[in-house]
């Protein structure tokens, strides 16, 4: 597996004084789903009922 | 979805029940390159500003490395490239603020977009903004059931003290026959006592709204409601309509349908009454001095109008 590195280029568009959570957009079964929280503290993957 | 009700626990040990789980193919996209992984999602009914929460199982399957200072995550693609997904900082900030203030109403837009070409056409009449909104205002007071005559019962607030209860109970039981237990029991108000006159602009003309079509569930609910009103004589059938106001069906908190009429056009034809209840101030002053009050709803009043069957 190639090495994974993060450089300043990865954060150039950011407002630097931030503690924002990692929120991304993914495609689930052909739906673009926004507001997806990446949470390494969670032991399960959760789909909220309101979204389901 | 596979039903599954094993609870999960939050970081302070609070228990959250689950509804089930489902396996869904999830695509992570970096420009033209994508990586698809199957994810088993646990379905949880909890108030949140997020749609989905990706935990360690999916991140490990994806082989993702997350850097929160960069607000980016990287993972290897099937072809061996490293793909990057950047965070939508504006949306992240919005969600973060919403999660810090859970008492603020969370925006209910789910931010799910149908991919072009796969959309199922929904007619505007089938969209009900209230459906799916679980948080509703409910009376906070607890109530107890009070048995009246002939198998009827009524709920009383537990906030009443025993003296008040002792006064009210015989009055309610002794006058069971005065309550309208069904629409048939409503005798109406004699037009000599009170009748409502619709004032309509002279120059107003008949407006026939375009007839709306409903889904099967709404159609049956509307028919049942119309049959009920017809059977008790609240409404009558009009054979030749020169006007038409559509009905609107709204789902109530208890899951039943409430039938309303879209009187937007009729309202436009009526002068606005700036004083619909001229003595409201007097009523409120008098009410403030009373110890107990009884609220009555649904008194049918005959409506007089220059038009045949305007309502």
What's the mean pLDDT when you consider all of chain B? Answer: 76
Minimum Cα–Cα distance from A27: chain B residue: B27
Coil, helix or strand at residue B97: helix
Helix (H) or strand (E) holding B260: strand B257-261
Residue A36 placed within a domain: yes
Domain of residue B16, residue span: 2-112
B97 interface with A at CB cutoff 8 Å: no
**For residues B143 and B156, is the Cβ–Cβ distance under 8 A?**
yes
CATH of the domain at B193: 3.10.10.10
**For residues B16 and B4, is the Cβ–Cβ distance under 8 A?**
no
pLDDT at B178: 78
Residue B137: pLDDT band (50, 70, 90) is low
For chain B, give the percent of residues with pLDDT over 90: 8
Greater pLDDT, A41 or B178:
A41
B284: phi then psi, degrees, rounded to nearest 5:
-70, -40
Residue range B223-249: average pLDDT?
Answer: 83
pLDDT at B292: 64
Out of B34, B68, B115, name the one closest to residue A22 (CB). B68
Residue B116: pLDDT band (50, 70, 90) is very low
Q: Is the pLDDT of residue B126 over 60?
A: no
Domain boundary among B70, B89, B112: B112
pTM over 0.95: no
Of the ranges A5-9, B43-47, B84-88, B120-124, which one carries the lowest mean pLDDT score?
B120-124
Angle at B271 between CA B269 and CA B273, to 5 degrees: 140
Residue A1 placed within a domain: no
Interchain CB distance below 8 Å, A41 and B26: no
What value of ipTM does the predicted structure carry? 0.90
pLDDT at B58: 92
The dihedral through the CA atoms of B278, B281, B283, B286 has a sign that is negative
**For residues B112 and B132, is the Cβ–Cβ distance under 8 A?**
no
Q: How many domains does chain A have?
A: 1
Minimum Cα–Cα distance from B82: chain A residue: A4
Domain of residue A27, residue span: 17-52
């Amino acid at each position: 597996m190639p090495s994974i590195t993060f450089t300043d280029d990865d954060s150039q568009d950011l407002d630097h004084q931030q503690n924002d959570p990692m929120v991304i957009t993914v495609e689930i079964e052909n739906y673009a789903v926004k507001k997806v929280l990446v949470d390494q503290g969670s032991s399960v993957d959760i789909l909220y009922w309101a979204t389901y | 979805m596979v039903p599954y009700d094993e609870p999960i626990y939050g970081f302070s040990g609070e228990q959250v029940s689950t509804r089930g789980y489902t396996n869904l193919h999830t695509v992570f996209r970096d420009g033209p390159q994508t990586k698809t992984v199957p994810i088993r999602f646990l379905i949880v009914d909890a108030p949140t500003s997020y749609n989905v929460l990706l935990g360690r199982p999916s991140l490990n399957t994806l082989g993702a490395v997350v850097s929160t200072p960069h607000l980016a995550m990287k993972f290897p693609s099937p072809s061996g490239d490293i793909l990057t997904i950047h965070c939508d900082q504006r949306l992240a900030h919005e969600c973060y603020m919403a999660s810090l203030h859970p008492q603020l109403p969370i925006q209910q837009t789910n931010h799910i977009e149908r991919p072009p070409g796969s959309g199922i056409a929904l007619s505007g009449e089938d969209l009900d903004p209230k459906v799916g909104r679980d948080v509703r205002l409910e009376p906070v007071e607890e109530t107890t059931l009070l048995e009246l005559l002939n198998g009827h019962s009524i709920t009383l607030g537990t906030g009443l003290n025993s003296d008040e209860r002792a006064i009210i109970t015989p009055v309610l039981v002794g006058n069971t026959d005065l309550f309208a237990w069904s629409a048939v029991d409503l005798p109406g108000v004699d037009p000599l006592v009170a009748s409502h006159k619709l004032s309509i602009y002279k120059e107003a003309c008949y407006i026939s709204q375009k007839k709306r079509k409903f889904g099967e569930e709404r159609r049956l609910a509307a028919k049942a409601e119309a049959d009920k009103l017809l059977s008790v004589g609240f409404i009558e059938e009009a054979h030749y309509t020169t006007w038409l106001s559509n009905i609107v069906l709204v789902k109530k908190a208890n899951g039943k349908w409430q039938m309303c009429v879209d009187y937007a056009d009729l309202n436009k034809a009526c002068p606005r009454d700036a004083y619909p209840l001229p003595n409201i101030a007097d009523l409120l002053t008098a009410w403030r001095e009373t110890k107990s009050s009884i609220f009555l709803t649904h008194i049918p009043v005959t409506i007089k109008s220059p038009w045949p069957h305007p309502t």
